[in-house]
Chains A and B, each alone.
Chain A
């Protein structure tokens, strides 16, 4: 006999799918909303990611040059992301000469850019030769030749031909004579025009950091030579340089946008992943609720002879239609979200103004494909459970049975919970940065575990609540008790996503709060100097530091320069490179002005060449003991082999890598110090402070010093708060949708209650109790998920197991859990609007 039931005709299947969707619009709303929001999010984050990789600035000053040449700005590691150096890399020795010697090169022009200030206002200085990169001409006077010569823009509001002009470099003023005026530079769209002056090539070189050589060359090709050809020739002729052509020249011009790029890539990829993970759970919850409501339909289909496979393909068909539709609709708003994110980023300084996003079709296409595939995979798993149910079992299994979890899911959940708890406890045994990384990963493990075990845990929580409510005779309580114990699945569908949201929020916000807090505590405890002197935006030149040292009443001075260092080591047999905050100190005066909590060795040994001090955590990571040689790359990427002479405890506040001040300054763009710590003769304290203020410096209480990396941390923390806000919004939307759908589906129940004599107040009180129960369970479960990880991180960072959390975490708990109350209240009001008799009279 032919097995006719084995396949339904395509038309028949289409018909059943269509009618299935039409019949169950309400329950599909959950899947639709979750998918739609996931596609919007992923499209937006995809644009952010792509922009981090490919977006940026169009060249302005460099737009006329064919090829821009710079030092090697990153070090490539096998099987890892390249490490990008924070300071501009130096060109290899003799690079300019060998490039000039190339046949097809018309000219090579070095470019210097130096930050000066005029009474506290920023002025950018370039070398005169660079005018031929930008095609600026001398309009009057002569070009600068002497050290004290300056050429200003023709429309400069403050200086005219023949004036003398006082410009400070690193807080040290110098008087210049305006010897000429030049035409306007090419204008950039977006960013505000900066005040520009030109110095002689020698004077400009003298003010630049490092060995006073140009770090950027603009190369012009001979006629008929393409930029690409020239770039390739340069690469061969002068190995060890980076070349930039076309739009990429903007990257070289706006090197400081590099940090913004990193933020964008990290933001896009890490939160894209989280969004997809959350989408997975939300869709699973929505789908399982929706399929459960239709169990009887499936039983009917099974009874009349459809196989589990057919049923499963029907469900997948429905889910595909719904999610694909949602996906396509979500792409447009996704690009809109990217535009909004760009505005938020640039208005908060995460990316420099004028940074352009790349809008290509790829983020949209990949978001739809990725999300729809994920939804289908989830649907396949969820559908398997429902399609296998025997017809009789499906007909009799009531909506009140507790959620059953598959064995695989149960075991996976339990294993992940165990792994998460172990990882959270790892700081008890481990040290170093791994001790922070493990609990942070543990947070994610536990969140996934709750996603898997959630229905079971929520069910247990509900029945615990039930025991508390059982003794009451108040009608609302009796009903709520019956509903919660009788329909734990319905509550779990809301509790689990809310708890996931709360857990995620707490881990994200908590981790950054713990680190930032500990860093600030370390600085407060660690700075022992009397006064902290800063020159915001302009730093301190050697001359300025000398003049402070010479001020009467100053007894001890420690000038601090900050940058970033890369430590290269072998981790588990593979080469690894990690970037840390780097501080340069005066090895002799540091002990009198700062207490780094030295554990071993002595900071004074840093006065010897090629020495380094590391925080104990980083020393541990690098596997270095006192006296060992450590491979360090300084700010501009210069590698040194340094002897480890000290380890210290306050690396989070001061920077994890410490070397002598000279060494840091020699490898930064500016060659300037960042802040100056001084001790003063107590009787002259006020006098010293007043004198330094008059000189234009900011004098403050050392305890107000910002911790090293505080700015980056707060930018990162803003970015992650923003991402968190978006993702929690997504979770909230899905949960509100689930609750509204689930509550509206209880219209007949409400109608029946009203007909047999309950008043509206009693129904509200029943629903209020259920809502509060959801809120409390979600909050408890969310905190339980996050706590082990946060306690582990806190212990690793500060030695205290009790995490020091910001008030933001309370807001997350409060807002997420009150969503349940608001959504249920709103839906109950809607559901009570129709007259009960009309509701009950509407035949099913």
Chain B
């Protein structure tokens, strides 16, 4: 097991390069000011290759949610920069940031991923509708078949199982060919069988569609499904591990918390 201090996770200082989907450079995030300042993330740099499936783990309060928000453009860093593809999103604001997220970033949440009044198809194409674009039918068909919901397009979310709903959310996250898909505890609300199936699906999508996926989780079993696990502790990178088992990841986490 390598320790984070000696071997920073990911790649730092890499020049803009077509192989890099997400890059954070010396990102710092502070909340509040003066003596009450809380540093949620301190000097984090990392780069993720296109098509990688990365899990971000850490105990609660370690800054993993903050990292997700900054990387996905939901929040802006106090210092440092965030590149999604070749765009420095830390320079964008307001509607342009919203628009960028809509076109280049996909999201999957733990729960309440779908609008109950929209059909499955409408839910999937919602980012396109919001952007005033029409769906590429071939892509929609391919995608819905790939995630296994091709026959459910006219249903409403309430008529689907939890696992099916999460597959719809995955299809929606992918519909606009995003640079990166961010998943926040995507299996948190599922039973273990459905969770396994969703994780397998993400793994396949990353590999077959060369889709970059970043997943935040606290569950070592879930993290073990990814190619690489990056650990966070106290707002800093604490190490990484490629292809570990759930038990190994759990041991590493225990070490961090100790």
Contacts and interface: CB of A to CB of B under 8 A. Distances in A.
Contacts of A836: 74
Contact of B74 (A485, A487, A748, A837): A837
Interface string A480-501: 0011011100000000000000
Interface stretch (A237-245, A334-342, A395-403, A582-590): A395-403
Contacts of B127: 756-757
18 contacts: A398-B159, A400-B156, A475-B129, A478-B122, A482-B122, A485-B117, A486-B117, A486-B118, A749-B115, A752-B114, A753-B115, A753-B126, A755-B109, A756-B101, A756-B126, A757-B99, A757-B101, A837-B75
Give the residue among A400, A482, A836, A841 with the most B Cβ atoms within 10 A: A482
Contacts of B134: 473
A757 B112 contact: no
A486 B129 contact: no
Contact of B107 (A478, A748, A756, A759): A756
Contacts of A2: none
Given A400-B156, A482-B122, A843 B111 contact: yes
Interface string B83-101: 0000000000001001101
A752 B112 CA distance: 8
B192 interface: no
A840 interface: yes
B32 interface: no
B158 interface: yes
* A-B interface, 10 closest residue pairs, ranked by CB to CB distance from nearest: A757-B102, A486-B117, A398-B158, A758-B130, A483-B117, A759-B98, A475-B130, A482-B118, A482-B117, A757-B127
Contacts of B118: 479, 482, 486
B132 A398 contact: no
Contact of A473 (B95, B111, B113, B132): B132
Nearest to B172: A756
A762 interface: yes
A625 interface: no
A844 interface: yes
B174 to A, nearest CB: 12
A756 B122 CA distance: 13
B111 A844 contact: yes
B130 to A, nearest CB: 4
Contacts of B184: 841
Interface in A788-814: none
A61 interface: no
A760 to B, nearest CB: 9
B69 A837 contact: yes
Interface of A: 396, 398-400, 473-475, 478-479, 482-483, 485-487, 748-749, 752-759, 762, 836-837, 840-841, 843-844
A554 to B, nearest CB: 79
Given A400-B156, A486-B117, 16 more contacts: A400-B117, A482-B118, A482-B122, A486-B118, A749-B115, A749-B116, A752-B115, A755-B101, A755-B107, A756-B130, A757-B102, A758-B102, A759-B98, A759-B99, A841-B65, A843-B110
Give the residue among B110, B132, B158 with the most A Cβ atoms within 10 A: B158
Contacts of B156: 398, 400, 486
A752 B113 contact: yes
Interface of B: 65, 69, 74-75, 95, 98-99, 101-103, 107, 109-119, 122, 126-127, 129-132, 134, 156-159, 172, 184
Given A398-B156, A473-B132, A475-B129, A759 B95 contact: yes
B116 A478 contact: no
Contacts of B98: 754, 757-759
A486 B122 CA distance: 12
Give the residue among A482, A756, A758 with the most B Cβ atoms within 10 A: A756
Contacts of A482: 115, 117-119, 122
Contacts of B117: 400, 482-483, 485-487
B143 to A, nearest CB: 15
A391 to B, nearest CB: 16
Nearest to B98: A759
A756 B110 contact: no
A725 B118 CA distance: 40
B186 to A, nearest CB: 13
A485 B172 CA distance: 22
Give the residue among B111, B116, B184 with the most A Cβ atoms within 10 A: B116
B112 A840 contact: yes
Nearest to A398: B158
Contacts of B69: 837
Contacts of A755: 74, 101, 107, 109
Nearest to A474: B132
Contacts of A752: 109, 112-115
A613 B136 CA distance: 84
B61 to A, nearest CB: 14
Give the residue among B95, B110, B115, B127 with the most A Cβ atoms within 10 A: B115
Contacts of B101: 755-757
A844 B109 CA distance: 13
Give the residue among A473, A758, A762 with the most B Cβ atoms within 10 A: A758
Contacts of A753: 115, 126, 130
B158 A757 contact: no
B159 to A, nearest CB: 7
A545 B103 CA distance: 92
A400 B116 contact: yes
Contacts of B107: 755-756
Contacts of A479: 115, 118, 129
Contact of A400 (B112, B122, B158, B172): B158
A487 B156 CA distance: 12
A831 to B, nearest CB: 14
A836 B112 CA distance: 12
Contacts of A841: 65, 184
B181 to A, nearest CB: 12
A399 B114 CA distance: 13
A403 to B, nearest CB: 15
Contacts of B157: 398
